[in-house]
Structure 1
Amino acid sequence: MFEVQQAAAGEWAVVAGGARALLVAEQDAARLRDLLDAVRTGFAETLDALVARGLSRTPSFALLDASTGAVLLAVRGTATASVSEDGRQRAVQAAAVSSWVETQLDDADTVTLGDGSATVTLPLVEGVVRASGLVWSAAERAEDVGATVAASPKRERDTGPVDAVLAEPVEVTRVPEATLAALASEPVAAPAASETSGYDHLFGATLVRSVEEAAVRPEEDEAAPARIDLPGFITDSFPPVSGRLEGDHDGLTVMSGDLPRRLPATPEATPSAPERQEFAVLLSDGRREPLSVPIVVGRAPSVTAVPSLRGARPVTLTSAEDDISRSHVAVVVEGDSVVVTDLHSRNGTLVVLPGTSPQKLRSGEPTTVVLGTVIDLGSGATLTVEAAG
């Protein structure tokens, strides 16, 4: 690693790493080193690092993330950004906003952070430098991908002749043509009657029968079976011959027509499907937020911090000490359960299930809770899981 001595410090510093770039009004070298680690990690982590000392002490910045398909852009304070989309230019500013402006660019061609009047630019892959601005181009990103993904060289097929190689020489016996002609002219003798076929060793000697003997004839009627005398307790159970019905009916079988008709099932007998449980959370400031959609709770929550939660809604919650992370926790209903996930917050998250002691959540690991659970974000900021309605 090289340590570069900066002769004259400018107003802006450019921090680049991992397809992300940050233009920030920061002079402290140790602070810039921390921001470089955050830029290498991710977009949300960089925003957390920028506001780590409080929103009032957060410097002006412009943050760009081109690591995914769409470009993420955040602008604060006196920093500006110029976006070119389909030949149209538009500016992104946040001078009138107390926090910052965050947007997603789906079809951006170029994005310029800071002063775009410079005519000479130098490439920067990763590091921290002083500059008046920086430019990102979608065309350069496509060229970089094409250069790094190269097809393997195609191997030509060998179409030349193939010589057969035998492991051992094979001896070939040649028969004179005169001998073959003599064998073909000799008559073939029929096998003797005493000789057996090739399958006699399986079934014994083969029997030769005439067609008359092999003919299949119907067997003679068998003699009537002998009469069996049954005991009295069996014969007495049958009704007399005079009481039997015509046909094969024995007089004891109950016909389906003699049974009473079965009444159709009434609608009241059909069990109804159980109603789905609906949930809500009661915030420590008295607000009640339904969980009809996932929510992201924090000091300045951003739904882009959890891209897997589609349709999520941000819910702002502050505390006196201002030690709640920007995007602290995510709360979502899955089936008939409530799932809480700590979004890698700075001070962590505690959950208190009814009748149990507080437990600290693991960062990024979803945890199922029940009704009455208290989610503690710190400094008195809590969420209580309740039934909606």
Structure 2
Amino acid sequence: MFEVQQAAAGEWAVVAGGGRALLVAETDPVRLRGLLVAVRAGFAETLDGLVAAGLSRTPSFALLDASAETVLLAVRGTAAATVTEDGRERSVRATGVSSWVETQLTGAETVTLGDGASRDTLPLVEGVVRSSGLAWSADEREEAGATVAAPPRRERDTGPVDAVAAEAIVAGPAVEPFAAAEPDEHTRVPEATLTEVAAASAPSETTGYDHLFGATMVRSVEEAAVRPEDEEAAPARIDLPGFITDSFPPAAGSLEGDHDGLTIMSGDLPRRGEPTAPVETPESEPVPERQRFAVLLSDGRREPLSVPVVVGRAPSVSAVPSLRGARPVTLTTAEDDISRSHVAVAVEGDSVVVTDLHSRNGTMVVLPGASPQKLRSGEPTTVVLGTVIDLGSGATLTVEAAG
């Protein structure tokens, strides 16, 4: 929670959300609504929103992020912050700095942005208000982060079970065995049916299981003995299917008698040195040539993407060690408002991949027939032919097919 100073409409406004607070010199309501979304998203997203229109158009601000254990603070322009650590106060300003001053506060007790402690304040958790300052205290964060202890777990109200002596167990009444009931005198059953049932259920004289498996065959030891097969008996004939016998036709002049017609004799094999019929191999289909790409720079130059390129005001391939064999391409503007190593463009397979190299002003891509989109810093993004890559200040790259 932040304590905000009451003030009428003026130059300064406070934007709070997600444990972060921004004191910014801004009066445009549309701009402030966009900053509220960025403050809710995170510390880096808020800085991106502040410098979206360029560093020269970035207003003065003081940004405090108290959502984590380590408090982050950034100050630019005429904004100021006062930090209390170990009972001592120190001021954080961006005097003589063209961008902003950013620092981490590990043991901050209170932080005041602008003129937040000079008058009566009101609490603010999330929203946008007109104010010239705000104050934050570490004690309030600890109170807000306190948790409610869970109720103690209730154990079952069961005690030990005492053993019961065997003499104390009382036996119940004996159960009479089930006896078949006599047929009802009013029910008429044919005598033939009763005879068949009695005969089927009668036990066999030989074994007690004939009524389950049928009649038992009784053989003598002589009849049941296993004897070796007769050596003079002809072996059993095996009928092979036609697709096997047809695939091995008998050779001319084959031997009669015990030849099975399937064995290949050595005389049937071609002799060494005799020409053999050539084996026809199917012609392989031609491999289609891969699509080649290039980028057209805003100054009229055309750079092929045979190897990855790093584009910027003074590019260095060491900024992207993962792109092997990358080539630096220098692109300047009148304002020199693009980063030294601004963007990397490479071909992966049949696609073109663009990566913003944590540039100062960011990178916009405009796909054919789509709205402009801002790239996430350090995140590779696939684009198509005709995509315009905008680096700001009129510096653009257009993805084209290489001739």
Query: Could you tell me the TM-score, scaled by structure 1's length?
Result: 0.50
Could you say which structure has the greater relative contact order, defined with CA pairs below 8 angstroms and 6 or more residues apart? 2
